[in-house]
Structure 1
Amino acid sequence: MREEFSGRNKFCGCLRRCLPSCSCHCECAMAAFKGVWTQDFWRAVCGEFLAMLIFVLLGLGSTINWSAAQESPPPPDLVLISLCFGLSIATLVQCFGHISGAHINPAVTVAMVATRKLSLAKGVFYLGAQCLGAVAGAAILYGVTPPAVRGSLGVTSVNAGISTGHALVIELLITFELVFTVCATCDPKRSDLKGSAALAIGLSVCIGHLFAIPYTGASMNPARSFGPAVIMGHWENHWVYWVGPLIGAVIAAALYEYLFCPDIELKRRYTSVLSKSSFPRGQYEGMEPAAFPSEQAQLVVKQPAFTVLDVERAERKEREAAGEVLSSV
């Protein structure tokens, strides 16, 4: 009886220790999926699907060589292809920016997840919608294009003159340039932006294509490479077009968000950590933005506004407020 009683006590003690952790994990899971089962979110997911379908259809359509049936067909027009991809992105960002944030690129979505502007649960749905949209766009183009001129349907491939390592670096760099442009033009802390953010993003895509088409076909977008690869069954060096853009996107977003232009909330958290040290920060507390000497410093301390790109900001503030209320109780 004593052994049974002691064993029951041990079980109850373990259960009491495990229940808080289980409830914590359940709360984290619920928080991750909060907002997923809403009409607005599924409207955004459908927007990503449709935007990617249109982008792949138009972009890959510009790579079709209608003179391929001739004896000596001319080479592809790189300027035409670059402008079509760039202007398509600019147009779609303008159309779908207020609906889904107009990522239209798994690399951009992963960058937003890495910088906590999009939850992991929502990012998974975004990635699925983008890949399905790319496959649908490539399938439509395959169906409406005559077999004689269809060619490779714009499948991205590594130039035979360079190695896969060099191709990986090229994709990393051009995607870095794209995502850094996205972060800079959609930064709510900036008050100096005068032109069109959509056009700037489109031009960054155009520049990347003008430079990298001879090297790798200039994917800059894993879904853009995934769609035609599925339809044509061509998977040679396909991993390059996922690994390179994803690494470049995360590096660009992290450098911009945490080094070059950090968020005021993140800066406050760093300050609270540093306050435990001997750093003399008392003289800087309570200072107004106008008290700083430079305009750049004033921009840093201003409160950023909500942007459609950072879809998690409002929910994060609600969770923090709820946590403060519970801690006070």
Structure 2
Amino acid sequence: MIKELCNGFNLKAFLAELIGTLVFVFVGLGSTLAWPSSLPTVLQISFTFGLGIGTLVQTVGHISGAHLNPAVTIAMVLGAHISFAQALFYIIAQLIGGVVGAGLLYEFSPAEIRGGFGINQPSNGTSPGQAFAIEVFLTLQLVLCIFASTDSRRTDNVGSPAISIGLSVVLGHLLGIYYTGCSMNPARSFAPALITGNFNDHWIFWVGPISGAVLACLLYNYVFAPYDLSASERLDILQGKIAEENEREEKRKQSVDLNSLYCHPNNKEKM
């Protein structure tokens, strides 16, 4: 078990998820602060979160996939895109990064402008059940967008996944802020809740986003655009075997390329 966990650990990807979530939570929560000159607006908060995630997808997407969200990571496992071990390390990185980002912002911000510090909770008379439903629907549309915009099998003009995903986050906030403050991301909700000690109705922002992400995964990966993978192939991915084989194959190719560089007769003459 320990060996499997170690094989699933990728330091660069772990750091990318940690730092990416740290920055996302820092700038996102920062847009909710109540500065004396002007209160935060729905548009300001929505576009800060959306531009933040779009920027980070562009920045670390090629390193870790830029999940930055435990709900997305769980959906990726369910769709057999990553291994169990990789998912575990990603979620740990996301939670640590979120808490560090929220903690830094809390320390850097004057007490009088922290306000509610971006805590997610039902508002405007929204019941816990209604809040849960909203979080399910908002995360559903986000994760569907993630799967669709990053699907390498598509041959049409997909455009920029970073922009598409960022706009999906904006869309969620434009509606969700009025109901729950809009989470769609357990790490984003957990971080300020831990820093302030306010866990009122906190279950909504784990169960809701994860449920929405699971539904999106089932719809996209098993109904809309199923992958041609057998049960054994899916199991190999979840156990990390295919990732290990791909890594070995990449190293083998690099070794072959290096040997050809030094062993080719023409190269010897040049040397």
Normalised to the residue count of structure 1, the TM-score between the two structures is 0.69
Q: Is the aligned partner of 1:195 residue 2:159?
A: yes
Return the match for 2:57 from 93, 96, 100.
93
1:191–1:138 CA distance, 2 compared to 1 (3 A) = same
2:259 maps to what in 1?
none
Residues 1-329 of structure 1: pairs in structure 2 closer than 5 A? 29=1, 32-33=4-5, 35-37=7-9, 41-67=10-36, 75-266=39-230, 314-315=242-243
Pair 1:252–1:32, CA change in 2 (3 A): farther
Q: Closer, same or farther in 2 for the Cα pair 1:267/1:118, shift >3 Å?
A: closer
What is the letter of the counterpart of residue 8 of structure 2? V
- The structure having more radius of gyration, on CA atoms, is 1
Could you tell me how far apart the structure 2 residues matched to 1:204 and 1:82 are? 10
- Partners of 1:58 and 1:46 lie apart in 2 by 18
Unaligned 5+ residue runs, structure 1? 1-28, 270-309, 319-329
Q: Distance in 2 between matches of 1:128 and 1:222?
A: 12
Asked if structure 2 preserves the Cα contact closer than 8 Å seen for 1:173 and 1:248, the reply is yes
Distance 1:157 1:76 in 2: 17
* Structure 2 partner of 1:16: none
User: Bigger relative contact order, structure 1 or 2, given CA contacts below 8 A and separation 6+?
Assistant: 2
Question: What's the secondary structure of 1:33's corresponding residue?
Answer: helix
- Displacement of 1:172 after TM fit? 0.4
Q: Per-residue deviation at 1:120?
A: 1.4
* Distance verdict in 2 for CA 1:223–1:155, change over 3 Å: same
**Aligned partner of residue 216 in structure 1, secondary structure:** coil
Distance in 2 (alpha carbons) for counterparts of 1:312 and 1:98 = 19
Report the Cα offset of residue 313 of structure 1: 8.4
Q: Deviations over 1:10-40 (max 9, x none)?
A: xxxxxxxxxxxxxxxxxxx478436324xxx
- Could you tell me which residue of structure 2 aligns to residue 5 of structure 1? none
Whichever residue aligns with residue 244 of structure 1, its letter is: G
CA contact (8 A) 1:209 1:217 kept: yes
Task: Give the total of aligned pairs.
Answer: 242
Q: CA RMSD in A?
A: 2.3
Structure 2 counterpart SS, 1:214: coil
Measure the CA separation in 1 of the matches of 2:3 and 2:243: 9
Counterpart contact for 2:139–2:213, Cα < 8 Å: yes
Given that residues 157 and 236 in structure 1 are in contact (C-alpha distance below 8 angstroms), is that contact kept between their aligned partners in structure 2?
yes
The superposition leaves residues 78-123 of structure 1 with CA deviations (integer Å, 9 ceiling, x where unpaired) of: 0010000000000000000011110011100000111111111221
Q: Give the Cα separation in 1 of the matches to 2:96 and 2:164.
A: 26
Q: Is the 8 Å Cα contact of residues 84 and 240 (structure 2) preserved in structure 1? A: no
Note if contact 1:32-1:119 (Cα within 8 Å) is conserved in structure 2: no
Question: For residues 314 and 191 of structure 1, do their structure 2 counterparts lie closer, same or farther at Cα, with a shift above 3 Å needed?
Answer: farther
Percent sequence identity over matched residues?
45
Amino acid at match of 1:315: A
Q: How far does residue 125 in structure 1 lie from its aligned partner after superposition? A: 1.1
> 1:217-268: per-residue Cα shift (whole Å, max 9, x none)?
0001000000000111100000000000001101101110011101123599
Unaligned runs of 5+ in 2: 247-271
The question of whether the paired residues in 2 share the 8 Å contact of 1:113 and 1:123 is answered with yes
Structure 1 residue aligned with 2:265: none
Distance in 1, matches of 2:215 and 2:202, equals 21
Note the alpha carbon deviations across 1:49-83, whole angstroms, 9 max, x for none.
Answer: 0000000000000001102xx7xxx6530001000
TM superposition score normalised by structure 2: 0.83
